[in-house]
Amino acid sequence: MAVGSEIFPSTMHPVAGFKLGVASAGIKKPGRRDVVLMEIAPESTVVGVFTLNAFCAAPVQLCKRHLETHSARYLLTNTGNANAGTGAQGVEDAQRCVDAVAQLCGAVSEEVLPFSTGVIGEPLPVDKIVAALDDAKADLKEDNWRLAAEGIHTTDTRLKGASVQVELGGKTVTLTGISKGSGMIQPNMATMLGYVATDAKIEQSVLQTLLRSSTDRSFNRITVDSDTSTNDSCMLVATGISGVEVSSEADLAVFAEALDRVMLDLAHAIVRDGEGATKFIAIEVEKAAAQKEALDVAFTVAHSPLVKTALFASDANWGRILAAVGRAGVEKLDIDALQIWLDNVCIVENGGRAAQYTEEAGAAVMAQEDITIRIVLNRGDVAEKVWTTDLSHDYVSINADYRS
């Protein structure tokens, strides 16, 4: 189940210097494409952001270590097994996969970054993954984005991709990316897994700043179920092969806007494919006194099981939204000064139900697939947006049956 129509782009522009290969290791299901190898051109710049979960998975630990000393040449992803909660053995298993890629491709181990997604707490089937590497290497192509998007997904029902091109210095610069994620989504830094590549040339510290800023405006503004994964990783690669160096203030602004477009498309695709989702909900908080209180209000509403189940039922039970706003922890909140809207229908003002509100108008909005909850605090000039889903019977079924 997913919200809206299929949104994977018909055109995924290849990024010069970035190749993707897909193979089947049969980790969870025989014949399923579940191993993805990505090859990065020499002299590229590679940066990443990772989960803040204290039980960060073994591959995340290795990624962080390797990025501290080397520039990545290969990214290896497996699905069907998260290699998280696996202790020292998990790190050793991830290292064995990394070593196998390095030996196969003529790299050093620190130039290989591993990524895993799937069931937590199970030993990584290293032999199956290593056996699939020859096929993945033989499949390396710059136009393999769609198959790679298929290769990294787990409970996803849709492939997730985005691709844009912009003009910089009279030349075309490409940004293309894929992501996966459907449940265990409140990315406390990034999404479950995300890979974005560009052929622009960008200095590493600048690229890292661009990634963090864009992540904060996209993946860190989505939630399906308020659970932060052990494996969240988002990578940004700049191959530089276009010859366009992004360094001036004007070029950086254009590039940042394009990156935000890609990242937001990928983030929204995750929400629209949220486990069991039937609604895509934008929660906009306006006129807050500070960013933190705006986000506190937005996420409190987004995480409320009562709000989410009312959304699923198309039940205009506006009191649930009001109650969530009231418990968001905003100091000295003037409830008489704020308004709450469902799309263009005002539901709360002057401390209670809006005088002009009707149940029919509220129910009409709640029946839509795309809904905006707008909360105007009237305390300042800060605004923030968060995107989420409803909570359906299917979400419970998917997660109750996940390992069976």
DSSP secondary structure letters along 298-358: HHHHHH-HHHHHHHHHT---HHHHHHHHHTS--TT--TTT-EEEETTEEEEETTEE-TT--
CA distances from 150 to 35, 131, 153 (A): 10, 20, 6
Q: Which residues on neighbouring strands pair with residue 23, listed in sequence order? A: 35
Catalytic residue (one of 77, 191, 223, 278): 191
Tokens of 386: 């968060």
Question: Crossing angle, helix 318-326 and helix 291-303, to 10 degrees?
Answer: 140
Nearest CA among 116, 120, 113, 110 for reference residue 84: 120
Question: What count of other Cβ atoms lies within 10 Å of the Cβ of residue 43?
Answer: 11
Rg for the chain, CA atoms, rounded: 22
Among positive and negative, which fits the CA dihedral 56, 59, 65, 70? negative
Which position has the token pair 């990545």? 72
DSSP state string for 327-339: TS--TT--TTT-E
CA 64/CA 69 separation, integer angstroms: 9
Position of tokens 């700043």?
Answer: 209
Cβ(63)–Cβ(102) under 8 Å?
Answer: no
- Is-catalytic flag, 191? yes
CA gap 18, 74 in Å, rounded: 10
| Dist. CA 181–CA 185, nearest whole Å | 7
Alpha-carbon distances of 53 from 192, 233, 285, 337, 403, rounded to whole Å: 12, 11, 27, 38, 22
Q: Which tokens go with 69? A: 């000393």
Residue 140: how many CA atoms within 13 Å on its side-chain side? 17
CB 295 within 8 A of CB 389: no
Q: Which residues are catalytic?
A: 191
